[in-house]
Structure 1
Amino acid sequence: MTENQTAPAAVAAAYFDALGGGDVPTAMAQLSPEVVWYQPGANQFSGDHVGVEGVGALLGGMMEASEGSFQLAVTGPAMVNGELVAVPVRFTGARSGASMDMAGVDLLTVRDGKIVAVHLFSEDGAAEDAFWGRG
């Protein structure tokens, strides 16, 4: 495996390890200052979130909306194709009167040792939209 193939996987691993351990500063440090996060669906969090501040605001909003219960867990090995890293995940959350528990894939674009783009895919977009709501 060349350095080009291992570097993106290592960055992704550091990001997900930090998230899994609740170490948000280390997770955010893996992001490029110009990162673009593409949040799917038709809910209050859908759309493009730009920069570390934009992503931080998004994640903070998700934690608030889920009453602090939102969690993400890696469920399988990262799959690398050049600067792209696809990671199977399961995400859960619960709040008054609603809960969510579904599989997804996080697709990270890693360039020059930083995550420059995040595309998320959900197993059940309608259920995710219903959980997050319109805001």
Structure 2
Amino acid sequence: MTTSLTAPVTLLREAYDGFARGDLPAVFGAMSPDIRWTEPVGSVYPGPFTGPQEVVDGLFSRLATEWTAFVVTPERFLPSGSTVVVNVRYEVTHAGTGRSAAVRGVHVWESDGERFTAFEGFLDTHVLRVAAGV
């Protein structure tokens, strides 16, 4: 694997590790100030969101308050030029309903070579909506 493919994967691994620790500065350090973040169609938290602050306000702060557990585990990183596709597994428990769910998904990240400029998630939103009771 070439350095041009290794660097974005390393940056993303650090961001996912930061998310798992609750270290949002580590997550946002990987994002461009004008990142375009797109949640899947049918998401409990529809977007898109532009910039890290919108991601915090529209998504991350809600995840922190509405779920007692929201674990995203990256399983495989597939770099291709400025794009990195990540196979992920979600394990969640909703605070209001007490329901848990597990679902696999895909995250697609676009990079400008230094930071990630776009994110799009793909997963079975129905599973998460049932857990959230919506």
TM-score under structure 2 length normalisation: 0.86
- The letter for the 2-side match of 1:8 is P
1:51 is aligned to 51
The superposition leaves residues 34-89 of structure 1 with CA deviations (integer Å, 9 ceiling, x where unpaired) of 011100132440220110101112111122121x31111112x3100101111111
Q: 2:69–2:93: 8 Å Cα contact kept in structure 1?
A: yes
- The letter for the 1-side match of 2:71 is Q
SS of equivalent to 1:69: strand
Q: 2:44–2:125: 8 Å Cα contact kept in structure 1?
A: no
SS of equivalent to 1:41: coil
1:101 is aligned to 102
The superposition leaves residues 17-36 of structure 1 with CA deviations (integer Å, 9 ceiling, x where unpaired) of 21223222111111111011
**CA pair 33-100 structure 1, distance change in 2 beyond 3 A:** same
Question: Which 4+ runs in 1 deviate beyond 4 A?
Answer: none
Aligned length: 131
Structure 2, unmatched stretches of 5+, are none
- The letter for the 2-side match of 1:17 is D
Q: How does 1:11-90 map to 2 (within 5 A)?
A: 11-57=11-57, 58-66=59-67, 68-75=68-75, 77-90=76-89
Structure 1, unmatched stretches of 5+, are none
- The letter for the 2-side match of 1:80 is P
- The letter for the 2-side match of 1:103 is R
Question: RMSD of the alignment, in Å?
Answer: 1.8
Q: How high is the sequence identity, in percent, across the aligned residues? A: 24
SS of equivalent to 2:69: coil
Higher relative contact order (CA 8 A, sep 6+): 1
Q: 1:39–1:119: 8 Å Cα contact kept in structure 2?
A: yes
